[in-house]
């Protein structure tokens, strides 16, 4: 496991915070630099960071996790969709530090297994702040949920109802509905969700078994490209509420799932999704209905918060399949590690060369390869890069989702570690939260070995008691 650090950085690079009159905490941005993503790209900062690492001969790959970016996403969410409670999908990135940060902000958790529930509880949330969002639960996992009091859970088939009746009959159930996910990059309807035609039977079975179905959930697919998909799905959910009402059941919860964009500068702005959702909620579930609205964002919170820095460990000149000259660069991360999305989700990660190119340097046809002994371990087949040297660094932004969570130790390579960036104003914001004592423990834990950024000439300790 790579070494962990907490780098504390200062106002000219990140968020400003102040206490509002309402005694809620408000985050203001200055100089169009809303998060540490801008600071990561800041030439002086990144060169200072890499120089320090090179002096210490620390050339292993590492993630830079921008805590400020996650807080900003939380702020955007609460302002854009104040009625919708986020239940962060832990499977997306189970980073312990950021789970604790989100818990301190009031974010709840969507968990799919015993281990994810354990992580959520360790982050400081109560069982009532966890949704067990797995429609086919393993018996041991279901027993664990009962033992700790996680009673809100999903289902989409009759067999699951009988299982829950045997093992957790007092659970609060949410029927997962299959909806149109044709506008998503990664479709989930092949595996999850009950067809609308199946819903009446499932509601009847639940009633016969004296199980409490409290709501409806759906998922429009990962990386949804169509905001109106949410509006259509919300209309379908209202139909299920009506079916339950006809059977004498009063539902009070709607889970609109995930699928929200996580990239900064996404082709479809988050606000477009929020607008479509808010409009449909007002049409079918207005506030006076008393229905609780929740969602399961994962990529939304994590994608842009993580930047991966990799080191070039080898290079050679070769000919590509068209017999054209190609420079092969070998880096110390690959598809068996944090680039697994290249295989499973066909994601593209754009490389940025961080070292100063030589004068008159031209962009050259290049390819990027991972460190393992498998020829499948190719990060980029064709790209244009300046001529680089062994020991130079490449950065890949938007690397926070389903990267570390899916990485392996194949071929004996360690899973890449994380270095955290935290601004001084944001630290002061955290210090005023009720959850600060637990956050302080997390920030000062053993695996965070440095709480000052020497390359920014900051010498005084910043994490103090009281």
Residue-level pLDDT, tens digit, the chain, 466 residues: 344 455 444 333 333 222 221 233 333 333 323 344 444 444 555 666 676 677 667 789 999 888 989 999 999 999 999 999 999 999 999 999 999 999 999 999 999 999 999 999 999 999 999 999 999 999 999 999 999 999 999 999 999 999 999 999 999 999 999 987 766 566 667 778 899 999 999 999 999 999 999 999 998 877 766 788 899 999 999 999 999 999 999 999 999 998 888 887 765 788 989 999 999 999 999 999 999 999 999 999 999 999 999 999 999 998 877 778 899 999 999 999 999 988 877 778 889 888 777 777 788 999 999 999 999 999 998 888 999 999 999 999 999 999 999 999 999 999 999 988 887 788 888 999 999 999 988 887 633 333 343 222 222 223 333 2
Backbone φ/ψ region at 225: left (φ over 0), alpha (ψ -120 to 50), beta: alpha
pLDDT at position 191: 76
Q: How many CA atoms lie within 13 A of 385 on its CB side?
A: 27
How much is the pLDDT for 267?
58
CA 233 to mean position of chain CA atoms: 23
- pLDDT at position 33 is 34
Buried/exposed 218-257: b ≥16 CB within 10 Å, e otherwise: bbbbbbbbbbbbbbbbbebbbebbebbeeeeeebebbbbb
Residue 131 structure tokens:
């949704």
Looking at the annotation, which residues are catalytic?
Answer: 373
Run of H or E including 437:
helix 436-443
Q: At what angle do helices 139-148 and 158-167 cross, to 10 degrees?
A: 50
Q: By C-alpha distance, which of 179, 195, 217, 400 is closest to 295?
A: 217
**Cβ contacts of residue 457 below 8 Å, gap of 6+?**
none
Instruction: Say which residues have a Cβ less than 8 Å from residue 21's Cβ, sequence separation at least 6.
Output: none
Distance CA 272, CA 175 (A): 27
Cβ atoms of 186 and 162 within 8 Å: the answer is no
Q: Are 370 and 281 in contact (CB under 8 A)?
A: no
d(CA 280, CA 294): 14
**Measured between alpha carbons, how far is residue 177 from residues 170, 198, 309 in Å?**
22, 9, 40
Q: Give ∠ CA 140-103-276 in degrees, rounded to 5.
A: 95
Q: How many CB atoms lie within 10 A of CB 80?
A: 16
Predicted pLDDT of residue 27: 33
Q: How far apart are CA 136 and CA 159, in angstroms?
A: 9
pLDDT of residue 185: 65
Structure tokens at 240: 């299920």
């Amino acid at each position: 496991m790579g070494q962990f650090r907490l780098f504390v950085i200062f106002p000219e690079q990140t968020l400003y915070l102040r206490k509002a009159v309402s005694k809620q905490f408000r985050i203001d941005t200055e100089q169009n630099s809303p998060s540490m993503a801008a600071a990561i790209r800041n030439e002086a900062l990144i060169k200072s960071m890499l120089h320090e690492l090179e002096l210490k001969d620390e050339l292993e790959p590492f993630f830079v996790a921008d805590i400020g970016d996650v807080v900003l996403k939380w702020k955007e969410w609460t302002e854009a969709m104040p009625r919708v409670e986020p239940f962060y999908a832990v499977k997306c990135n189970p980073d312990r530090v950021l789970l604790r940060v989100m818990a301190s902000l009031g974010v709840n958790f969507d968990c799919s297994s015993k281990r994810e529930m354990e992580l959520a509880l360790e982050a400081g949330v109560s069982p009532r702040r966890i949704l067990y969002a797995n429609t086919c639960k393993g018996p041991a996992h279901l027993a664990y949920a009962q033992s700790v009091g996680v009673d809100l859970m999903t289902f989409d088939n009759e067999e699951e109802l009988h299982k829950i009746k045997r093992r957790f009959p007092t659970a609060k159930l949410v029927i997962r509905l299959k909806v149109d996910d044709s506008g998503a990059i990664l479709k989930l309807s092949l595996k999850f969700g009950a067809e609308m035609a199946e819903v009446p039977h499932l509601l009847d079975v639940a009633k016969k078994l004296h199980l409490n179905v409290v709501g409806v959930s759906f998922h429009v697919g990962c990386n949804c490209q169509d905001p109106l998909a949410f509006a259509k799905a919300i209309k379908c959910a209202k139909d299920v509420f009506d079916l339950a009402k006809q059977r004498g059941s009063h539902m009070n919860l709607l889970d609109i799932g995930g699928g929200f964009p996580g990239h900064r500068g996404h082709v479809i702005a988050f606000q477009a999704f929020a607008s479509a959702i808010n409009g449909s909620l007002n049409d079918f579930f207005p506030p006076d209905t008393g229905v609780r609205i929740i969602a399961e964002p994962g990529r939304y919170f994590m994608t842009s918060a993580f930047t991966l820095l990799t080191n070039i460990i080898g290079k050679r000149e070769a000919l590509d399949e068209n017999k054209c000259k190609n420079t092969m660069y070998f880096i110390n991360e690959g598809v068996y590690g944090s680039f697994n999305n290249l295989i499973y989700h066909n994601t593209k990660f754009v490389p940025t060369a961080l070292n100063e190119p030589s004068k008159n340097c031209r962009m050259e046809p290049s390819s990027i390869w991972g460190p393992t002994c498998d020829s499948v371990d190719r990060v980029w087949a064709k790209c244009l890069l300046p001529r680089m040297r062994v020991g130079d660094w490449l950065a890949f932004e938007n690397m926070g989702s389903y990267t570390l969570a899916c990485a392996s130790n194949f071929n004996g390579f360690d899973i890449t570690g994380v270095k955290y960036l935290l601004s001084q104003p944001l630290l002061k914001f955290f210090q005023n939260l009720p959850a600060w004592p637990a956050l302080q423990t997390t920030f000062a834990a053993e695996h965070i070995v440095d709480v000052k950024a020497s390359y920014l000439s900051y010498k005084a300790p910043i994490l103090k008691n009281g």
